[in-house]
């Protein structure tokens, strides 16, 4: 075994990923599945909402000028939702109306029921002067025809889905969710749900990664457990049908760390060893994918690393061969979390059309105690926030996942600093404040 000859800077790795990863193509998705997805196209309303003037209150549709007098109003009939009054209101007349019902022709206001007094003969007296337009929802007041209601790259919220329904849109084009394969290596690992026994430990990385992938809008494929065997690791990376591969464990420079060599054989190991603590053994690579025809039928193409074999019966235009990102995440749980959040998570979010930035809210707060670091290395420091101050959690190794449970968030000590002093204002990324 030998250590890393050199470690890439965090900035260099992020810059490379940023330049090489683009959002996945769009797909058409129907309303019930849209929440949380990201629009690939802007949405323009094809209609006015509402498409007719309607009552905003229960009461009487009237001519507003009639409410300024004490003269009684003759009630001609009623207007109900989907059952409008078909005549025309003239001066001295009114129509009983309910919320959401069409405003009859001739009326320009709604007298609320609370301010209408009904006489024995059935006529109505107004006890309030209402102005023209009062309690009427105008045509297009909610949404005007031709208005852009949702911009491209919008992450859809439940109310956005409701708005789409209101304008008669049943499907929209959104970025495809990235499919993420999780490969877990290590002869010592037991599956989640097991009890540790003897010299074997329980895999905590795969359930953590699956939850992080879901948070970032990805679709986590089934987890595969691999023995520490080169051929098994290589074949699993080669044969996985995914948009991103996360390999947990077996990523460093030991005799049983097979993933880096496998990635190099199958494509490109762009980085191995990063100047960050923890997560220094992180590796980032790429594997060539089948070239995708313009209609998305990627199965029509087959690409070999050392020379292309191509089939395109339909003679469709094609996009360039995409490169499948592969992240070799350290097996120690805190290192795994750090490497995912700072690197892999960004790529998964970008592929799905989401933000490249960290998915946490941050706050500028003073340090209660200094943070020791090292020049030319970024430190991922778990911290607690108490009484408006930031306290680093000391003595927490890369394998101590409980330290992240106790922490309120983390501070990234920059590579150009060897110490952050007590009292200094620092940016804290808060675990529980996910946007």
pLDDT tens figures, 273-319: 999 999 999 999 999 775 443 444 443 333 333 333 333 434 333 33
Buried residues in 119-136 as b, exposed as e (16+ CB within 10 A): eeeebbbbeeebeeebbb
Instruction: Find the mean pLDDT for residues 174-198.
Output: 92
Instruction: Find the mean pLDDT for residues 70-92.
Output: 95
Model confidence at 209, pLDDT cuts 50, 70, 90, reads: very high
Q: CA-CA distance, 243 to 218, in Å (whole number)?
A: 10
Element (H, E) at 420: strand 419-420
pLDDT of res. 109? 97
Element (H, E) at 162: helix 158-166
Instruction: Find the mean pLDDT for residues 188-206.
Output: 90
Instruction: Give the Å distances, CA to CA, from 404 to 145, 207, 378, 384, 393.
Output: 50, 15, 18, 10, 9
For residue 1, pLDDT beyond 80: no
Average pLDDT, whole number, for the chain? 89
Q: What is the largest CA-CA distance in the chain?
A: 102
pLDDT of res. 290? 55
Three-class SS of residue 402? helix
Burial (CB count within 10 angstroms: exposed 0-12, middle 13-18, buried 19+), residue 276: buried
pLDDT of res. 316? 37
Instruction: Find the mean pLDDT for residues 42-53.
Output: 97
Model confidence at 222, pLDDT cuts 50, 70, 90, reads: confident
**Contact between residue 111 and residue 60 where contact means Cβ atoms under 8 Å apart:** yes
- Strand residues in 86-147 grouped as ranges (E): 93-97, 109-112, 116-118, 124-126, 136-137
For residue 94, give both structure tokens: 């009114």
For residue 21, pLDDT beyond 80: yes
> What class, spelled out in words, does domain 361-430 have in CATH?
mainly beta
Q: Which range has the worst mean pLDDT, 108-117, 243-252, 307-316?
A: 307-316
Model confidence at 390, pLDDT cuts 50, 70, 90, reads: very high
**Contact between residue 301 and residue 289 where contact means Cβ atoms under 8 Å apart:** no
Question: Which residue has better confidence, 252 or 397?
Answer: 252
Domain definitions of the chain by residue range:
10-20+178-351, 54-137, 361-430
Instruction: Report the CATH superfamily, name and number, of domain 10-20+178-351.
Output: MoaB/Mog-like domain (3.40.980.10)
> What class, spelled out in words, does domain 54-137 have in CATH?
mainly beta
Query: 324 CB contacts (<8 Å, ≥6 apart)?
Result: 242, 243, 244, 245, 267, 286, 287, 288, 289
Query: 30 CB contacts (<8 Å, ≥6 apart)?
Result: 170, 171
Q: CA-CA distance, 154 to 103, in Å (whole number)?
A: 35
Q: CA-CA distance, 408 to 432, in Å (whole number)?
A: 7
* Beta-bridge partners for 62: 94, 109
pLDDT of res. 397? 62
* Beta-bridge partners for 94: 62, 75
């Amino acid at each position: 075994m030998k250590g890393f000859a050199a470690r890439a800077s965090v900035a260099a790795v992020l810059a490379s990923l940023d330049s090489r990863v683009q959002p996945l193509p769009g797909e058409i998705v129907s309303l019930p599945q849209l929440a949380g997805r990201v629009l690939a196209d802007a949405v323009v309303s094809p209609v006015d909402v509402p498409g007719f003037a309607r009552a905003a209150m229960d009461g009487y549709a009237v001519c507003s000028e009639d409410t300024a007098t004490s003269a009684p109003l003759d009630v001609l009939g009623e207007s109900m939702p989907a059952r409008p009054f078909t005549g025309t209101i003239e001066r001295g007349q009114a129509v009983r109306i309910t919320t959401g019902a069409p405003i009859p022709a001739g009326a320009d206001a709604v007298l609320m029921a609370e301010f209408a007094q009904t006489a024995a003969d059935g006529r109505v007296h107004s006890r309030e002067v209402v102005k023209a337009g009062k309690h009427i929802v105008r045509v297009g007041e909610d949404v005007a025809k031709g208005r852009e209601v949702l911009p491209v790259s919008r992450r859809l919220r439940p109310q956005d889905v409701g708005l789409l329904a209101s304008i008669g849109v049943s499907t929209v084009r959104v970025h495809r969710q990235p499919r993420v394969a999780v490969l877990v290596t290590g002869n010592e690992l037991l599956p989640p749900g097991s009890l540790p026994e003897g010299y074997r430990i329980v895999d905590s990385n795969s359930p953590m990664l699956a939850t992080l992938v879901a948070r970032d809008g990805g679709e986590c494929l089934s987890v595969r457990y691999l023995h520490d065997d080169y051929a098994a690791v290589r074949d699993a990376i080669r044969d996985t049908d995914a948009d991103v591969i996360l390999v947990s464990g077996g990523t460093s420079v030991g005799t049983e760390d097979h993933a880096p060599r496998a990635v190099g054989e199958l494509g490109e190991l762009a980085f191995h060893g990063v100047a960050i603590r923890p997560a220094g053994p992180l590796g980032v690579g790429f594997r060539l994918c089948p070239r995708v025809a313009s209609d998305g039928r990627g199965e029509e193409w087959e690409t070999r690393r050392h020379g292309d074999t191509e089939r395109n019966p339909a003679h469709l235009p094609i996009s360039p061969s995409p490169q499948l990102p592969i992240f070799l995440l350290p097996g120690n749980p805190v290192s795994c979390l750090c490497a995912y959040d700072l690197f892999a998570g960004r790529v998964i979010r970008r592929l799905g059309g989401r933000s490249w930035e960290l998915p946490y809210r941050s706050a500028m707060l003073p340090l209660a105690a200094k943070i020791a670091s090292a020049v030319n290395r970024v430190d991922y420091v778990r911290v607690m926030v108490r009484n408006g101050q930031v306290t680093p959690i000391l003595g927490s190794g890369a394998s101590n996942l409980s330290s992240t449970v106790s922490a309120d968030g983390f501070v990234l000590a920059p590579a150009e600093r060897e110490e952050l002093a007590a009292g200094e204002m620092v940016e804290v990324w808060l675990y529980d404040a996910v946007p």
